[in-house]
Amino acid sequence: MPKISVMTLDKARPVAGAEGCSGNARASAYYDGAADPLHMFLHELGPGDVLRLEPGEVDRLAYVWQGAVAAGGCRLDAGSSLIVEHGRSLDLSGLADASRVLTFAAAHPLAEPRAGGHVHLLPAERVSRNGDLGASGVSGGMHFASDCPTCEIWLHENHFPGSEPMPPEEQAKGVHSHSEDEIIFVTAGRIRLGTRLYGPGTALAIAADTLYSFTPGPEGLSFVNFRAGTPGDIRFANGTAISETGYWKERVKRPEYLTA
């Protein structure tokens, strides 16, 4: 996999069956290659369509991007998420005319996986959020913080106000890397990479320890960020570093999950 891979919605490849899933939902692959450390699919469900997350060797996360689904006796509207740990399964049923659900997972089991065997549901209204993360109007929310005793998945969301292109010296301040592979998915607005703008449905797969930066488009930017394991430090190009888990723990409380 390239150190940074950009995949737009129109380039996602239709597949007959997504890895670890069954049912009659239509699926498209963003990342599913042998060289991709993280895999990601988009599933489209009409009313009554079913997406089944099968038991497997890896924990799998689902995020409701658009529409709504029913899962584990719970309604999950757009902005909701869930984890199906290894060894468990779960059916998601479409409730809206057109629902879009993302699934994320590590390509292979973690070196020392946690116990697994559970399902965690997080309706959108239960996501813990902070409207001011202390950086020019940026807000965010925590879905899964890698602190579960039985799984290690991470997912957070960020929302940025609109911005015009910045001078190079300002852009340079945001250049950073993370200590693990990650996928960013644009849920609304646009993300600026260099001089190009990418809209909703764009995914970025970024390899561990890769320096990169982005800025929001003029209408703002919202995205979710997935990791298969516990994040380490955010390292900036100027040599400074901060604990990513510590940063979020100080600002956003742990969500209260439902079980299925």
Structure tokens at 120: 């965690």
pTM: 0.97
Task: Quote the pLDDT of residue 171.
Answer: 77
List the strands of the sheet with 81-84, edge to edge: 13-15, 26-31, 38-45, 99-106, 60-66, 81-84, 119-122, 258-259
Confidence of residue 168 (pLDDT cuts 50, 70, 90): confident
Confidence of residue 135 (pLDDT cuts 50, 70, 90): confident
Q: Do 118 and 71 meet the contact criterion of CB atoms below 8 Å apart?
A: no
Confidence of residue 128 (pLDDT cuts 50, 70, 90): very high
Q: Do 171 and 223 meet the contact criterion of CB atoms below 8 Å apart?
A: no
CA distance linking residue 181 with residue 195, whole number of Å: 24
Domains for the chain: give ranges and CATH numbers. Answer: 11-116 (2.60.120.10), 128-259 (2.60.120.10)
The string of pLDDT tens digits covering residues 43-82 is: 999 999 999 999 999 999 999 999 999 999 999 999 999 9
Is the pLDDT reported for residue 121 higher than 80?
yes
Average per-residue pLDDT for the chain: 96
Is the pLDDT reported for residue 1 higher than 80?
no
